[in-house]
Structure 1
Amino acid sequence: MLPEHTDVLVVGAGPTGLAVAVTLAGHGVRATVIDRLASPPVTSRAAVVHAGTLEVLDRIGVAAPLVTRGLSATRFTVRDRDRVLLTIPFDRLPSRYPYALMVSQAETEAVLADRLAALGGRVLRPYQLTGLALDDAGATARFAGGETVRARWVVGADGMHSAVREPAGIDFGGPADPGESFLLADARLDSALPRDQTVLFLAPQGPLVWAPLPDGVVRLVAAVADAPRDPDAARFQALLDERGPARRPDRLTELLWTSRFRVHHRIAGAYRAGPVLLAGDAAHVHSPAGGQGMNLGLRDAVALGDALAAVLDGRPATLLDGYAAARRPLAEEVLGFSAGLTRLTTLPPAGRLLRDLLLRTASRLPPARQRLAVRLAGFEPGPGAMPHRTAGAHPAHPAVPA
């Protein structure tokens, strides 16, 4: 049953919404978290948590249990079939987590939900938000079935098609038409590729990502001209044959799950409208290149949770304007970075030779490789994102200036 009143209503129990609630709970604030789904999804698109994000999650007690469920990839390689064009090592990152943690989004959500439960919180399901009325003192949320909740603050963490963003009057700017289509699968493969690395294959037909997951699973992501609704094993085998290793080709032995999606590049016009605050995909969506989307959302969530807790503790509400002012430029930068990576992987034939030459040159320059590793790892300036923080530390409102 929904409460009549709450200080914070979090709409959406994906990684971002859960991380907001966990952060608040660590400060002694119990949020009301609702989700429209009757149960958490068991499949997911996001498959990597980067070192910079793990450093932030360490502050809320989530990094250590998450690491036990994942697989450490210590490098990222770019290939043209069997020819390595670029290797980006993560083992020299300035972090206690010198790797990319390969783990299903479903596992990330499960760890966050366990942490929330340990702090006395839970997710209320299924509740579909149908309306939101804002005023100077907060908001009244309406749900299917007629129930209402009066909230001082409402966090929209409900994804690209946010039910919170539109009634708050926040635009979601970007191209009207979606970009390139992609196929995605989790599969088991007979493969000679090392499982301590993620591989981006560049091919004339388009890019193919090969990413190891625990339990012998591999995540495959491929750009295609027109993604079918229900791709079969033969389709993914064909993609491996035309884009993957040539001398020792991969053989798909079991197809576990498939999906398709189109790339969108959008960012909210504002992250705050009165009592409404946005985070994660409700605030920004972009290409999956570089695995930045969920990571940026998780870092949004901890920053927002810290700021909200400070305001509820008596600090001025303008701190939430500071959250919005700080996070939106970071999203703009990530959108530009991921869009650039996408363009790099889908160049027309005339530009591929120069691209490959530049990649091979960068691979021979250790400073260039290190800069790329740090950029992919998602370290952000300011407190709360600095490496080598004491494990489990959660100082009071560390992201809020004194």
Structure 2
Amino acid sequence: MTSDRTDVLVVGGGPVGLFTAVLLAARGLDVRVWERRTEPPVGSRAIGIHPPSLDAFAAVGLAGAVLAEAVLVRRGVARSRGRTLGTLSFARASTTHPYVATLDQHRTESLLRERLEALAPGALTTGTTVSGLDRHPDHVVASGVGPDGATTTLRASFVVGADGGRSAVRALLGIRTTGRDYPERYLMGDFADPEDPSARTAALVDVGPDGVTESFPLPGGRRRYVALLPADAPTPSGVGDRGTPDPEAAARLAALVRSRTGADPDPASCTMTSTFGVRRRTADRVGVGRVVLVGDAAHEISPIGGQGMNLGWLDAVDLAPLLAGAVASGAAGPWPRYASRRQASARRAARQAEANMATGRPLGPVAAVAREAVLRSALALPTAHGLARLYAMRWA
């Protein structure tokens, strides 16, 4: 029997797991985090932080530090074949944060680590992989393997699986997932921003006939480009996700951006390249006894739209008061209510992502003109602010 105890063990020290731990520590719970990585966070990866997440960050004293480094995107511009179809303002999307903030994921994670350390010194343990969950009516004994190969155990009132789409916690619980893979593949990279200065704080979405190209400003005068790859195109070789650029992929992405939008990013300025496919997965259950899943461990959606990380954060916002109440009362936790709310939000986000993908698929000349007309009309309507609220995740 282990003598080391905690109220909540969070498995996974990425952005969702760290924020879950911050919320719990802010409520006075004793919390630990096991993170399998030993190295500090690297790479820009997920960059969008939506208004509901910023509201949640503000509640734990984190929004100021994030906003001090982030770019505030206050509008989105739809384009096609060199013409502007319309502009979507985020001014009415939130009374507190009328914008979407963009910040490299490694910086967001670092700020979350700093906030957790301030609230719960020593809570984060790196280099530890969960290997077992021995569940009891009133506690869970978690086993892990540390960086030296030694086994460690921890008795927790609750365990939160925030360990991503390939969740070890979910596998240990025997929970299956259902979903589908999509044919779309995307190439993305970060470059020195080549856009006109008037668009330097705008998200740009080009829906030309050859397929969508999106771009988002980043701190330091950089811009993230994401381009749909042609269906018959081979996946660029040597492209990873660890924050390093591949010269061949950078040149290829720059050529796609140039041919579709007219912007001319310099491949030599590229700091990151990555390819990704699209899939949708939903866990059959999000909780078993005193173990519950959050983020991609519970529901994985398309990265298009930048909602996945934010969904995980909002899972944590919903879960934290439930866990705090359960720790205080000794209850096992109201997972059915939590599950129904959060999986409903994930379904809605997934449908939105699917709509975004459909809007960005290649089309023939006639259909492309029709798509432009529909977008131009939708963005000109007085109700367009409703679209801004949708993209800003005010429904979540």
TM-score (norm 2): 0.89
State the alpha-carbon separation in 2 of the partners of residues 195 and 290 from structure 1: 19
Structure 2 unmatched runs, 5+ = 239-245
Which residue of structure 2 aligns with residue 125 of structure 1?
Answer: 126
Match of 2:258 in 1: 241
**Which residue in 2 is equivalent to 1:356?**
372
Deviation, structure 1 residue 344 = 1.4
How far apart are 1:238 and its partner, in Å?
0.9
User: 2:22 maps to which residue?
Assistant: 22
Q: Provide, for residues 249-274 of structure 1, a one-character-per-residue CA deviation record: whole Å limited to 9, x for no partner.
A: 44444111112211111111121111
1:277 corresponding residue in structure 2: 292
Match of 2:241 in 1: none
Residue 371 of structure 1 and its aligned partner are, at CA, apart by: 0.5
User: What are the Cα deviations for residues 372-391 of structure 1, in whole angstroms up to 9, with x where unaligned?
Assistant: 1111111247xxxxxxxxxx
Other-structure match for 2:194 = 190
What code does the residue aligned with 1:362 have?
A
Question: Which residue of the other structure, out of 353, 358, 368, is the alignment partner of 1:338?
Answer: 353
CA distance in 2, matches of 1:96, 1:251: 36
The 5 A counterparts of 1:89-128 are 89-121=89-121, 122-128=123-129
Q: 1:203 aligns to what SS in structure 2?
A: coil
Percent identical among aligned pairs is: 35
Alignment deviations for residues 280-337 of structure 1 (CA, whole Å, 9 cap, x no partner): 1111111122211111111111221221111112274343432222111111111111
CA RMSD of aligned residues (A): 2.0
Q: Tell me if structure 2 keeps the 8 A contact 1:308–1:320.
A: no
Worse overlay, 107-116 or 348-357: 348-357
Structure 2 residue aligned with 1:388: none
Q: Deviations over 1:49-95 (max 9, x none)?
A: 01122112211221121111101111011211421123110122232
Q: What is the correspondence of 1:141-220 to structure 2 with a 5 Å cutoff? A: 141-144=142-145, 145-175=150-180, 177=181, 179-192=183-196, 194-220=199-225
One-letter code aligned to 1:286: I
Inter-partner Cα distance in structure 1 for 2:53 and 2:257: 31
- State how 1:314-393 maps to structure 2 within 5 Å: 314=329, 316-349=331-364, 351-367=367-383, 369-380=384-395
Count, aligned residues: 376
Three-state SS of the structure 1 residue aligned to 2:296 is helix
Q: Distance in 1 between matches of 2:331 and 2:131?
A: 30
* 1:229 and 2:240 correspond: no
Instruction: Specify the code of the residue in structure 1 equivalent to 2:237.
Output: R
Q: CA deviation at 1:42?
A: 1.3
Inter-partner Cα distance in structure 2 for 1:314 and 1:185: 48
Q: Distance in 1 between matches of 2:64 and 2:344?
A: 29
Q: Say which SS state the counterpart of residue 180 (structure 1) adopts.
A: strand
